[in-house]
Amino acid sequence: MESQQKIFYGWWIVVGSFFLNFAGIGIIMNTMGIFIKPVVESLGFTRGGFSLYFTIAALSMMVMAPVMGKLLEKYDIRIIMTICTTMMALSFALFSQCSTLTQFYILAVFLGVGSAGSHIIPVSMMITNWFIDKRGLAMGIVFAATGVGGLIFNPLANWIIMNYSWQTAYWVFGLIIGVFSIPTAIFIVRAKPADKGLLPLGGEAAIAQQSETEGKGLTATEAFRTSGFWLLALIILLIAVANMGVLHHIVPYLTDMGLSSTTAATLMSLHMAMLIVGKVLAGSLADRLGLLKSYLVLMIGLMVSIVLLYGAQWLWVAVVFNILFGFSIAVRTVLPPLMTAEVLGQKHFAVIYGFLNIFTTLGTAIGVPLSGFIYDATKSYYLAFALYILLCAITAVAGFIVLMRKDKK
């Protein structure tokens, strides 16, 4: 097999993975907050009831995650991903035709199934397979795409809603998802370097390291019996609950605090800009400083940022919050696949991470509507924010334990 080309094809995998996260996560996950008030006020839903559609999508993604991990390993990744990206784009576009919660909920099932095979799981699998050297950097770049998407699409969604309607915004965004995701699935993605007759980045040295790593890796069955797997599951679950519980309610919270929807959307764009920086930097720090130090830095930043929300009635505090939260939220996407490969190995990475992704989507399913229901009950987000600070503290301790234990082996 060839070890090099003029441009290593793995970097095209990075480009394709960037497109998948840019459209899939950047729109579907990172713009939901823009839609909450317009849809709720237009159709007479409660915030908790409407947010529940995201929970249903997340649960569908959760159920499909381990299945998708096996499908991506067993069959041609391009076929699986073409089906999934088409389903994801079409279901999101069809939200434009919904007038009842039931319709949102039904489409959310298809959105979740399509998403399971369109971004987080296949992207993490491909980057892990294609890169030994610079894996953290590559992972950071592809997940920075979610911030780029949010940076662009939050103000765009707000503009479309203000000048046209939320229905138009859903339709336009569904089209954008399809344009970026479907051709990428057909023409760019490859599961592993061997599919192109190549070695992972790093050539022979990388192969030697990869062989050693794979030899020490666990099978899925073995992984499920370890405390490391369940500590990672707890970490992934609680980070998702806290991150998503805050993220999708930033815009409605800031407008509740007296800021205009335009200002709130602009601040959300600032948050997404910092998310880009944070994800690239998090991957680079993981390569340079190690997973433990980079993990603790991001978790502390996350806790401090949520504390700042209590003073977000002052614009400068809201600005600082969005900067720090945007930087720290990289801990949710960049580090978990790196930690999984480090703690459990690469032998059955796609299957193991597919199962761990259950906890990502479960946390998402809990966090988004939980904030909405707490608001509906108390007319405030303060109790929700206090809960998320506590969850972050627990998560920081769990991460310290699992990574220190690995370091001692």
Domain boundaries of the chain, sorted by first residue? 9-407
pLDDT at 192: 85
Q: Is the pLDDT of residue 277 over 70?
A: yes
pLDDT at 212: 53
272 within 8 A of 150, measured Cβ to Cβ: yes
Widest CA span in the chain: 62
d(CA 282, CA 169): 32
For 152-197, write each residue's pLDDT tens digit.
898 899 899 999 999 999 999 999 999 999 999 999 899 888 888 7
Q: Is the pLDDT of residue 408 over 50?
A: no
Distance of CA 237 to the CA centre of its chain: 12
Please, where are the H alpha helices in 95-226? 101-116, 120-130, 135-163, 166-187, 203-216, 220-224
Q: What are the Cα distances from residue 374, in Å, to 158, 251, 258, 366, 395?
A: 25, 16, 20, 12, 22
Query: Using CA atoms in the order 322, 392, 354, 286, what is the torsion angle rounded to 10 degrees?
Result: 70
Q: Which 8-state DSSP code applies to residue 346?
A: S
For 78-102, write each residue's pLDDT tens digit.
999 999 999 999 999 999 999 999 9
> pLDDT confidence of 294, banded at 50, 70, 90?
confident
129 within 8 A of 262, measured Cβ to Cβ: no
pLDDT at 203: 59
350 within 8 A of 123, measured Cβ to Cβ: no
> pLDDT confidence of 61, banded at 50, 70, 90?
confident
- How many CB atoms neighbour CB 136 within 10 A? 26
Provide mean pLDDT across the span 188-211.
72
CATH for 9-407 is 1.20.1250.20
Please, where are the H alpha helices in 290-381? 291-308, 315-328, 335-344, 349-378
- Its pTM stands at 0.70
For 129-153, write each residue's pLDDT tens digit.
888 878 878 888 888 888 788 888 9
Q: Is 284 exposed, middle or buried (0-12, 13-18, 19+ CB in 10 A)?
A: middle
Average predicted confidence (pLDDT) for the chain: 85
Residues 6+ apart with CB under 8 A from 106: none
d(CA 202, CA 328): 29
Q: Is 376 exposed, middle or buried (0-12, 13-18, 19+ CB in 10 A)?
A: middle
Total residues belonging to the chain: 409
pLDDT at 4: 46
Q: Which 8-state DSSP code applies to residue 348?
A: T
Mark 33-43 as b/e (b = at least 16 C-beta within 10 Å): bbbbbbbbeee
d(CA 77, CA 91): 21
Residues 6+ apart with CB under 8 A from 289: none
